Amino acid sequence: MPSTKPRDVQVFPIATDTRVLRSRSWARLRFEIEYALAKGTTANSYLIEGDKTALIDPPGETFTQIYLDALKERFDVTKIDYVIVGHVNPNRASTLKTLREIAPQITFVCSNPGSINLRKALEDDNLPLLVMKGEETLDLGKGHHLQFIPTPNPRYPDHLCTYDPQTEIIYSDKLFGAHICGDQVFDEGWQAFLEDRRYYFDCLMAPHARQVETALEKLSELPARLYAPNHGPLVRYGFIQLTDAYRQWGKQQSSQDTTVALIYASAYGNTAIVAQAIAHGITKAGIRVESINCEFAQPGEIQAAVEEASGFIIGSPTLGGHAPTPVQTALGIVLSTATNNKLAGVFGSFGWSGEAIDIIEAKLKDAGYRFGFDPIRVKFKPDDVTLQMCEEAGTDFAQALKKSKKVRTATQPATSVEQAVGRLIGSLCVVTAKQGDISSAMLASWVSQASFNPPGLTIAVAKDRALESLMHSGNKFVLNILKEGNHLGLMKHFLKPFAPGQDRFADVKSDTANNGSPILTDALAYLECSVKDRMEVGDHWLVYAAVEDGQVFNPDGVTAVHHRKSGNHY
């Protein structure tokens, strides 16, 4: 159910001369994969008052009015000297334009790529700017001598962190964030936020693991005690642990021996959102993504990535019936570099016709490349269902690469240990879940009762399953327990490969549980469950859930059991 709480702005002092303005929404704001947990968000902005005043990272247009009202209520905006912008996007431009109208004395501070984006977003080539390339500082007085650390990545090529040595705070912009809404300003009990921070990392940072590692090295040189990110609680109590976790999560990605080169440009941000969803689907399947924004990458960088990669995916907007010049250049490099035994993919967003996608597809087909998924065409801004489809397409692409790399399969002899593990017997079930317009299902046999009071169970969910994104803490699902002698039809249905976005429940009898998830009416019994926790275990997530309701359809039936000869495959 959507939250009925109104949006508001929470203002709180966090250090000497420093306050945070937390624009809060308990409902999900935008159709981007990073918001998929639907726990609301905070858009954090910061005000430093020295002899001069700096405002850091005003929020996007969703909060423009309530944010400026809260700011004007507590501070004379005509005294703001600088607005520091960690990254520029069209959504934030609305607030910056309004702020400039009421405070024309402001000078904007940003990175060099940010200056280009900011002039374009505010439609002003004469915008008063301070461009920070890494060595410049800004003295606000009272000891607030700000330092600036460019931390670019393909998704945010203008990304800029700010450090205040007076308070030892790193204003980390997109780094170390999480989409959570609540009253808690700092991260007391930081372990409770770790799952949300991991999901945020997997969505936004995992495709840029190499750049994240570089950013961490830069930030490690600063004697800091607090991360002040754009989203979620400020990181004080779990500062060391979250820094270490970022390193560990980044190494998990960068250590993968199979790589996909994801090459794209984005005119209005929509193609980048689609790229983000595809990348998430690839990385969750255990394949590394080398994400390249070809508007900012050098030809040599594109060529090196394509040479190293086992597959490549090209994304483009359509401008004037064509792909923009940077994409055309990148396509030329790909065609001259990549052998045609490498797996290919094409995607793009457009406003009217989408010719760029057709042009790229045709050239790759003519060159003899195989495609890991059908070309993805997104008109205007993608919605939840489209993003889920894109994520599933990315996972399909990764799985096709794994097969082409000739990893061990079920047809190869299993070791004695794997044969023994295969004798572990589990009830044969189908897990079903629905969140908003997105639904999914999977066949499961790694299921076990875990607690009496409250009744609870555990399910092992492979990281590359489409259902995995619906199995986070707080999500609801139904465990459908299959009946021996009546299970083969459902088993075959849910074992077959589904195309990205395909309806899993077509041609099966189903009803709707109280928690909104599908019930398979041909099952022996069902349990309505709520995810309470999950733990990373190798290539799976171990999900613990509390049972909230259920029913046995056939009291005389016997539970179907999955007998396996080997433990090295399902």
Report whether pLDDT(423) > 70: no
Q: Among 11-15, 164-168, 260-264, 534-538, which is the least confidently predicted range?
A: 534-538
Number of helices and strands in the chain (H, E): 13, 29
Architecture of domain 256-404: 3-Layer(aba) Sandwich (3.40)
Write the single-letter amino acid at 430.
Answer: V
Write the single-letter amino acid at 205.
Answer: M
Six token digits for residue 34 = 């990073």
**Is residue 518 within 8 Å of residue 510, measured between CB atoms?**
yes
Beta-bridge partner residues of 314:
263, 346
Kindly report the average pLDDT of the chain as a whole number: 91
The domain segmentation of the chain, as residue ranges, is 8-253, 256-404, 416-562
- Average pLDDT of the segment spanning 503-524: 94
Q: Among 22-36, 269-283, 292-306, 532-546, which is the least confidently predicted range?
A: 22-36
Torsion sign (Cα): 483, 430, 422, 403: positive
Report whether pLDDT(532) > 80: yes
- Nearest CA to 168 among 103, 118, 239, 105? 239
Report whether pLDDT(410) > 70: no
Conformational region of residue 508, where left means phi above 0, alpha means psi within -120 to 50, and beta covers everything else: beta
Distance CA 444, CA 435 (A): 20
Please name the helix (run of DSSP H) or strand (run of DSSP E) that holds residue 25, with its range, or none: strand 18-25
Write out pLDDT tens, residues 276-291. 999 999 999 999 999 9
**Is residue 440 within 8 Å of residue 430, measured between CB atoms?**
no
Quickly state the pLDDT bin for 452 (edges 50, 70, 90).
Answer: confident
DSSP label at residue 321:
T
Report whether pLDDT(2) > 50: no
Distances (CA, A) of 523 to 210, 428, 555, 560: 47, 10, 12, 10
> From start to end of 353-453, where are the E strands?
370-371, 376-379, 426-427, 429-435, 438-444, 447-451
Report whether pLDDT(219) > 70: yes
Give residue 409's pLDDT: 45
**Is residue 325 within 8 Å of residue 318, measured between CB atoms?**
no
Give residue 348's pLDDT: 96
Residue with tokens 């809060």: 24
Quickly state the pLDDT bin for 1 (edges 50, 70, 90).
Answer: very low
The pTM of the full predicted model, rounded to 2 decimals, is 0.88
Report whether pLDDT(407) > 70: no
CATH level 3 topology of 416-562: Pnp Oxidase; Chain A (2.30.110)
CATH level 3 topology of 8-253: Metallo-beta-lactamase; Chain A (3.60.15)
Six token digits for residue 412 = 């190869």
Distance CA 449, CA 453 (A): 11
Torsion sign (Cα): 275, 277, 278, 284: positive
Report whether pLDDT(567) > 90: no
**What is the three-class DSSP state of 254?**
helix
Report whether pLDDT(158) > 60: yes
Residue with tokens 């280009």: 116
Quickly state the pLDDT bin for 569 (edges 50, 70, 90).
Answer: low
Quickly state the pLDDT bin for 269 (edges 50, 70, 90).
Answer: confident
Quickly state the pLDDT bin for 154 (edges 50, 70, 90).
Answer: very high
**Is residue 130 within 8 Å of residue 107, measured between CB atoms?**
yes
Six token digits for residue 135 = 């060595």
SS3 readout for 335-376 = HHHCCCCCEEEEEEEECCCCHHHHHHHHHHHHCCCEECCCCE
Q: Which has the higher per-residue pLDDT, 269 or 22? A: 22
Quickly state the pLDDT bin for 91 (edges 50, 70, 90).
Answer: confident
Distance CA 448, CA 272 (A): 40
Give residue 406's pLDDT: 56
- Percent of the chain topping pLDDT 90: 78
Write out pLDDT tens, residues 247-258. 999 999 988 889
Residue with tokens 């056939």: 554
Compute how many other C-beta atoms are within 10 angstroms of the C-beta atom of residue 480.
29
- Average pLDDT of the segment spanning 58-64: 93
Write out pLDDT tens, residues 312-357. 999 999 998 999 999 999 999 999 999 999 999 999 999 888 999 9
Distance CA 393, CA 466 (A): 10
Beta-bridge partner residues of 443:
430
Distance CA 50, CA 132 (A): 20
What would you measure as the largest C-alpha separation in the chain, in angstroms?
79
- Average pLDDT of the segment spanning 488-516: 92
Distance CA 270, CA 32 (A): 9
Asked, colleague to colleague, whether 256-404 and 416-562 share their fold, the answer is no
Report whether pLDDT(266) > 50: yes
Distances (CA, A) of 86 to 106, 132, 159, 495: 16, 11, 5, 46
Distance CA 280, CA 116 (A): 28
